[in-house]
Structure 1
Amino acid sequence: MEYRRLGKSGLQVSALSLGSWLTFGNQISDKVADELMGVAYDAGVNFFDNAEGYAEGKSELVMGKILKAKQWDRESFIVSSKVFFGAENKGPNQMGLSRKHVIEACNAALKRLQVDYLDLYFCHRPDKQTPIEETVWAMNTLLQQGKILYWGTSEWSASEIMEAISVSKQFNLIGPTMEQPQYNLLERNKLENEYLHLFKEHGLGTTIWSPLASGLLSGKYTTGDTKDTRLDLKGMEWLKDRTLAADRMKKVEELQKLADKIGLPLAKLSLAWCLKNPNVSTMILGASKSAQLKENLTVLEVIPLLTDEIMEKIDEIMGTKPKLAAF
């Protein structure tokens, strides 16, 4: 396993991490979840990603039971939660980024995960109803209490992250360390364009999600068959329609041909491509089967196959490379 610094912080995260969105407490049994965490940990994965909103809190309950049963040394793993969407109850103060919800959600996540502190705590979305100062102060309070070690954002714009950084500097508080954006061959603008200033000037770390674009880049949907996949889950129709759009499918079919040519499964090609970006601190893998996870955990071995020439061909096929903004 390779370990990378989380931005400019001193925290070392495994280049590959395991996420629980749509799987833990929902798509897979607790027994399979336990197996997946064991496989990941044994392979050197040290970061396990979660959120209050995943399966309305059930995902954290499942992960908490597993962490307790495994009895791993607490210093050997990193666990996260995210605040915004609320868990099971969605009352007026049980969602968003108010001081009340940020602090109460953290306490609830600690109970569900059965840990004394969260290593990483993310604002899962920006909250237009709450002043950014209130959220930054709430995060700082949790840091001082030792309930969280680092805080960050997820799916925030560069200007929103900059505002949080400015507020933290103004009041001598600790600002965001990391952002969790979607990043894959179809979603590239934030990491390759919008956030460049944040990487260079502020040392922002990233914990990227959906490196396989909800499975589209895994190769299993090139036949259009979504049976027994996350796209077949109830309530995921929006994701299915977006993921399997005709223009995307065409690009992926071309990419499949390139992967075949260099002797790589499409999933490995797509994952290795993400890891080539030096601004990726860790890439979150999702899995519903241990064989699939074991295969994807070997992706670091194939990165050398992605030469400059292959990277150019990938850009040609996908046509998704963002045009850099002029500063």
Structure 2
Amino acid sequence: MKVFVQLAYGFGGTAWRERWKAGRILGLNEEQAYGYSRAASDDVKIVYSEDSQENLPQKFVRYGARAVLGFDFVHAWHNRKQLLAADVVWTHTESQMLAVLLLFRILRPTQRPKILGQVVWLMDRWRKQPFWRRWFFRFLMKHLDLLTVLSVCNRDDGRQLFPELRIERVHFGIRADDMKPARKTCQGKKLKVLSLGNDEHRDWKTFCAAAEALPDVEFSIASSARAASDAAKNVPNVELVRAKNNSELIGLYSEADIVVVPLQDNRHASGITVVEEAIILGVPVISSDCGGLTDYFGPDSILYVPAQNPTALAEAISAVRADPAAALQRAEAAQERVQNAINSVQYARKHVELSRELLDA
């Protein structure tokens, strides 16, 4: 089975590998983006999209087309030969999925590869799209073989929006090869709480409001988002921090007693990467209960609080400080879940399983 993985520009096989080897990609990442290469075997060949070299006018054309269409068609066009040579195409977000669908509509190959198209933000942003774009997206998606999503919320939304499509939830997982033992935290004089991320659904106002309610606790935010710096202004026990490389990032996790993932209501499992990184590095997690995260990890693994409720968040932090043994049990249960079900190996295997179903149908 020949699989072609069409990813966003900048995530191409060669470019990603070079940045990964140089340690310039933060997080518990793979040598190839998102771990799809884990699916490779004697029976499965995995080929990644590549980034074409661009001068300034070419970049302007690609960006302009993306602004009009809502997805990166030019990048897919540059990878058309490999796309056409595949048995199955995998995409990671709607931008690549829609670009591939339009490419095949234009080229009309006699033997079109099956398309396993994943979306992330499509359902959350659907009603914000102009009507003509929603019509265009529907037109293209009629020819999609399988739509995959990362959240049960998006799965349910998608089945209402696109009843004619087969839609499956796939658990997104990251590299868990170097899992650190879960540790009993809250043993120092000062409690240290860390939150990370740049996603648009991070709720920094709630996080900083909880910090104001716990003046004796040290709060840190690792984010380049403007909303984070705005929320942290005039909150003396909240510090903005930055990890320049992976060693510094892992150091932030290692120094933290608790990792908090504060979220606004969303439907796409926002924050799941940070949740998994914290679990793999052995840190207890508190998260907002939204986006379908409980489908990944139950309350036996993560301490959940209602979204946008600073009082509940402050009480949860105090509860972990009061009972670190219970937090350790949750962290151990979360790590067992990662080892057995939520990791990049299982993520890649699920894609292979679904692809074989498409080819055998």
Q: The TM-score by the shorter chain falls in which range?
A: 0.3 to 0.5
TM-score by length of 2: 0.36
* Structure number with bigger Rg: 2
Structure with the greater relative contact order (CA < 8 A, sep ≥ 6): 1 or 2?
1
